[in-house]
Structure 1
Amino acid sequence: MNTFSMKRVALFLFAGVLSLTVLQTAAAQDANQSHTVDVKVQSINDIIAPGDVTIDISPSNGDFTGTATTSDGYDVTSNAPGGKKVQVKVTNENNVAELNSLKILSAGTSAPGEASANDVTLVGDGASDGTQDLTTGFTGVDVDNLSVEFEATVSPDFDPTGNNAEVTVQYTLTGN
């Protein structure tokens, strides 16, 4: 055998041993590999108040009470693990003295998630009643267009040609 043939045989033997080594290493690897996927969600607590509401009172038979439900309701999004609730209060009391009462009625008011709505008196005897809980507690919600039903009562001496009894109601998402 000449030197050239011996080099060629040696080269083929070397290539064969190398390929077996690579194949054995690849075959010896673990077929079960894993990694961790970490999902992080930012805290979100958001409330959007409903649109304006007009309560028309048409006194007949001495009834000076009227009701109205929001046409576009309020929206709530929260992922707070400790729970949240919605609170309401009158923040603009320009004409509350003209109202005998202004209430939110639970029967026509929706609450987010597993919460329920409460009857709330916003104005009683012509004065604001302060901050009230509109809902009980809830967790993990993203819901839109929750209705709110209002009831207003005025006295017979309410001047229908004068200033309207207009108040501003503030909605707050607060801890449970």
Structure 2
Amino acid sequence: MNTFSMKRVALFLFAGVLSLTVLQTAAAQAKHTVDVKVQKINEIVAPGDVTINIDPSNGNFTGTATTSDGYDVTSNVSGGAKVQVQATNTNNTDQLNSLKILEGGTDAPGSADANTVTLVDSDGTTGGPQALTNSNFTGVDVDNLSVEFEAEVSPDFKPNKSNTSVTVQYTLTSTGGGN
């Protein structure tokens, strides 16, 4: 056998082995399906405590304060969600003319905007849950949303003796549609 024929045979054998390797690689393939399932979540974490200091030296018995650490909202409910607030516990509110959450200094999650909400009214009464957000929002995972409070007291409020405290409850409610 001449050298040229041996080279052709060797090349042919090399091509055959390479072809078998490629075929075996292709024959070794497999596949499977991965299912991704996401659980529903509708969670709200209230902000830290707030102290409102009022200095009536200019005749103004109103003060404001913003939460130093805001509230957190996580929601993926398909019909949307909204935030409600309510004064659930009041202490010594007879001299508290009003306590409000101010829309101008309050952040809302997602596509929503905040409303001004009166938690304690001028007669010292509190109402039920009120909408802090004026529209529904979906697909939210946001932390540290600020809340600005405003308090107004009467001139009879006894300095450093009549501390008033109000517990504010935050509720994240779904608005329906696929929950």
Task: Show the counterpart of 2:40.
Answer: 43
Report the CA distance shift for 1:62/1:32 in structure 2 as closer, same or farther (over 3 A): same
Is there any run of 5+ residues in structure 1 with no aligned partner, and where? 1-22
Q: What root-mean-square deviation, in Å, do the aligned CA atoms of Structure 1 and Structure 2 show?
A: 2.1
Task: Show the counterpart of 2:16.
Answer: none
| Secondary structure at 2:56 match in 1 | coil
The AA in structure 1 aligned to 2:172 is L
1:114-169 deviation digits (Å, cap 9, x = unpaired): 11100100011111122110112110100000000000000101111323011100
% identical aligned pairs: 70
* TM-score of the superposed pair, with normalisation by structure 2: 0.78
Task: Show the counterpart of 2:86.
Answer: 89
Distance 1:171 1:158 in 2: 28
Note the 1:133-148 alignment, pairs <5 A: 133-135=131-133, 136-148=135-147
Task: Show the counterpart of 1:6.
Answer: none
Task: Show the counterpart of 1:175.
Answer: 174
Is there any run of 5+ residues in structure 2 with no aligned partner, and where? 1-19
| Secondary structure at 2:144 match in 1 | strand
Residue 34 of structure 1: how far off its partner (Å) = 5.8
Task: Show the counterpart of 2:115.
Answer: 118
| Secondary structure at 1:107 match in 2 | helix
Residue 30 of structure 1: how far off its partner (Å) = 9.0
Distance 1:80 1:38 in 2: 20
Task: Show the counterpart of 2:14.
Answer: none
Poorly superposed stretches of 4+, deviation over 4 Å: 29-35
Distance 2:137 2:27 in 1: 47
**Which range is displaced more, 144-153 or 90-99?**
90-99
User: 1:57, 1:65 within 8 Å by CA — same for their partners in 2?
Assistant: yes
Task: Show the counterpart of 2:68.
Answer: 71
